[in-house]
């Protein structure tokens, strides 16, 4: 008998707490059908970084699942989100990926909208509508926007909880990546983008704290001395998650590593001022910090040396696993640097970033080859009956002495964060149907 997605997802509710996850979730068109509405129609999804649109009228075209969203700074400097769809017959009113404008004019019949989304121009309004069309009713469909530490989030759900509640304390960890010195961060230019036959969920899982793969998948880096690491990282550090929210971070430690490794003096001093003492205590000794904000935004901070054996330069990479369908993503990949860091450091961090991440980055090639491979298996017919084990670390007790929010277990290499990730995903997938675009006019 073929089970409907809802039926086997209900069965999954019993299996996840005991560490079993159906293989098929990683590549199944019926799962993707539900995800569009229940995950991407309801969550706060990252659209970009404020530094990408610094001036009034600056805009960029981004997506929440299959919905194109214009993210624009309006006339008074506020960031707005609008569906990229003319209200007359639906043509895209914005055709460029990035730019600056005072208005968006539809190329079909010429309806024109200002940057706040209001319909300000209708050709022949008097002659053909006899002025009976109420322009105030037909502005662009708004997408809710909230920001945290420079990150721009959008939600299609008018009744979504406030972003602060959605993040649920994960801000404490995001500060390390997005505002380490208190002066904010900026991205080094537009994101690298490329398309991969991999499912967004295996990428999100990996970045929620898969320290287990590092010495195997990325062994070249350890062997050649490009990054300071050893297999002791398996026995050190923390995996932390926010229960019920899906967010997770792995904090890998390498014994003997210098505090603040890979950062210039100025950024080290900035961190001591910009972060609270508990944050400094946790992050100063981190070799790699790797995190996923549920559902599909991930961050990594780690040192990389272009000269084997040297301490190298720490960079921060941010990646969006934008789903194009079941088993297919477009990766958006940015390098993030503190605004007040020395120019020489920013340049060196960007060099390290480009060697490891992006379509030509060696880390991404290692990882994406494996994620393509997982996705291919998950889409096969026999895999529909199978489950994956998530046993690693489930018997570990949370460490009450860890100062940050959420549940922390040590060591870092475990699958505890992933069980929380899949439980959260499941709760969204099984929640009652609600209007996906709540504020449609």
Question: Rounded to whole angstroms, what are the CA distances from 16 to 19, 168, 202, 390?
Answer: 5, 22, 16, 8
Separation CA 98–CA 180 (nearest Å) = 28
The answer to whether 315 touches 302, Cβ cutoff 8 Å, is yes
224 binds, among Fe ion, ligand FES, none (CB under 5 to 8 A by kind): none
The answer to whether 142 touches 80, Cβ cutoff 8 Å, is yes
The sheet with strand 119-121 has its strands ordered as 103-105, 112-114, 119-121
Determine phi and psi for 146, rounding to 5 degrees.
Answer: -140, 155
367 binds, among ligand FES, Fe ion, none (CB under 5 to 8 A by kind): Fe ion
CB of 221 to Fe ion, least distance (A): 10
In the complex with ligand FES, the residue whose CB is nearer, 46 or 86, is 86
In the complex with ligand FES, the residue whose CB is nearer, 77 or 90, is 90
Separation CA 65–CA 250 (nearest Å) = 26
Binders of ligand FES in range 24-53 (CB under 6 A): none
The yes or no reply on residue 129 touching ligand FES (CB under 6 A) is no
Which of 15, 57, 91, 268: binder of ligand FES (CB under 6 A)?
91
109 binds, among ligand FES, Fe ion, none (CB under 5 to 8 A by kind): ligand FES
Residues 6+ apart with CB under 8 A from 79: 50, 53, 71, 72, 73, 145, 147, 152
* Candidate ranges 4-12, 19-27, 106-114, 138-146; the one touching ligand FES (CB under 6 A): 106-114
Q: How many residues bind ligand FES (CB under 6 A)?
A: 9
Which of 108, 129, 224, 235: binder of ligand FES (CB under 6 A)?
108
The yes or no reply on residue 86 touching ligand FES (CB under 6 A) is yes
In the complex with ligand FES, the residue whose CB is nearer, 103 or 213, is 103
CB of 206 to Fe ion, least distance (A): 6
In the complex with ligand FES, the residue whose CB is nearer, 53 or 94, is 94
Matching residue, tokens 């990035």: 98
The yes or no reply on residue 88 touching ligand FES (CB under 6 A) is yes
In the complex with Fe ion, the residue whose CB is nearer, 146 or 367, is 367
**Coil vs helix vs strand at 129:** helix
* Candidate ranges 105-113, 171-179, 245-253, 363-371; the one touching ligand FES (CB under 6 A): 105-113
Separation CA 60–CA 69 (nearest Å) = 8
- Among residues 331, 382, 352, 126, the alpha carbon closest in space to that of 221 is found at 352
In the complex with ligand FES, the residue whose CB is nearer, 111 or 345, is 111
The yes or no reply on residue 111 touching ligand FES (CB under 6 A) is yes
In the complex with ligand FES, the residue whose CB is nearer, 49 or 87, is 87
- DSSP of 245-310: T--EEEEE--TTPPTTTT--HHHHHHHHHHS-HHHHHHHTT-SEEEEEETTTEEEEEEEE-SSTTS
110 binds, among ligand FES, Fe ion, none (CB under 5 to 8 A by kind): ligand FES
**Coil vs helix vs strand at 128:** helix
Give residue number: closest CB to Fe ion: 367
The answer to whether 279 touches 402, Cβ cutoff 8 Å, is no
The yes or no reply on residue 384 touching ligand FES (CB under 6 A) is no
Separation CA 419–CA 13 (nearest Å) = 11
Which of 29, 54, 110, 308: binder of ligand FES (CB under 6 A)?
110
Determine phi and psi for 227, rounding to 5 degrees.
Answer: -135, 145
CB of 64 to ligand FES, least distance (A): 21
Interacting residue ranges for ligand FES, rule: CB under 6 A:
86, 88-89, 91, 106, 108-111
């Amino acid at each position: 008998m073929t089970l409907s997605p809802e039926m086997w997802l209900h069965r999954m509710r019993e299996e996840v707490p005991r560490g079993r996850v159906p293989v098929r979730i990683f590549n199944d068109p019926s799962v993707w059908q539900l995800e569009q509405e229940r995950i991407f129609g309801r969550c706060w999804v990252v659209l970009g970084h404020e530094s990408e649109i610094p001036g009034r009228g600056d805009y960029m075209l981004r997506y929440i699942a299959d919905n194109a969203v214009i993210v624009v700074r309006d006339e008074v400097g506020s960031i707005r989100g609008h569906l990229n769809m003319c209200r007359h017959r639906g043509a895209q009113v914005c055709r460029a990926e990035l730019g600056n404008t005072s208005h968006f004019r539809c190329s079909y019949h010429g309806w024109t909208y200002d940057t706040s989304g209001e319909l300000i121009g209708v050709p022949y309004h008097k002659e053909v509508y006899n002025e009976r069309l109420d322009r105030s009713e037909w502005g662009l469909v708004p997408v809710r926007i909230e920001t945290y530490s420079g990150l721009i989030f959008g939600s299609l759900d008018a009744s979504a909880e406030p972003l602060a509640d959605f993040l649920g304390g994960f801000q404490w960890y995001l500060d390390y990546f997005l505002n380490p010195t208190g002066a904010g961060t900026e991205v080094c230019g537009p994101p690298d983008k490329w398309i991969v036959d991999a499912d967004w969920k295996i990428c999100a899982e990996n970045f929620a704290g898969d320290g287990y793969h590092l010495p195997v998948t990325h062994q070249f880096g350890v062997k050649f001395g490009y990054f300071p690491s050893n297999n002791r990282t398996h026995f050190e550090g923390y995996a932390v998650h926010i229960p019920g929210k899906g967010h997770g971070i792995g904090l890998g430690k390498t014994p003997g590593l210098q505090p603040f490794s890979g950062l210039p003096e100025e950024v080290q001093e900035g961190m001591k001022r910009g972060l609270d003492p508990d944050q400094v205590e946790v992050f100063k000794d981190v070799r790699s910090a790797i995190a996923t904000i549920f559902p599909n935004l991930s961050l990594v901070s780690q040192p990389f040396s272009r000269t084997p054996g040297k301490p190298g330069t720490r960079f921060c990479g941010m990646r969006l696993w934008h789903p194009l369908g079941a088993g297919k993503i477009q990766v958006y990949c940015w390098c993030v640097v503190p605004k007040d860091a020395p120019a020489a450091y920013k340049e060196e961090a960007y060099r390290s970033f480009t060697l490891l991440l992006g379509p030509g980055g060696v880390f991404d090639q290692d990882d994406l080859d494996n994620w393509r491979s997982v996705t291919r298996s998950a889409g096969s017919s026999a895999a529909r009956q199978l489950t994956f084990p998530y046993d690693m670390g489930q018997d570990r007790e949370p460490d009450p002495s860890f100062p940050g929010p959420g549940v922390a277990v040590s060591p870092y290499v475990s699958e505890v964060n992933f069980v929380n990730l899949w439980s959260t995903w499941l709760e969204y997938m099984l929640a009652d149907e609600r209007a996906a675009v709540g504020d449609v006019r």
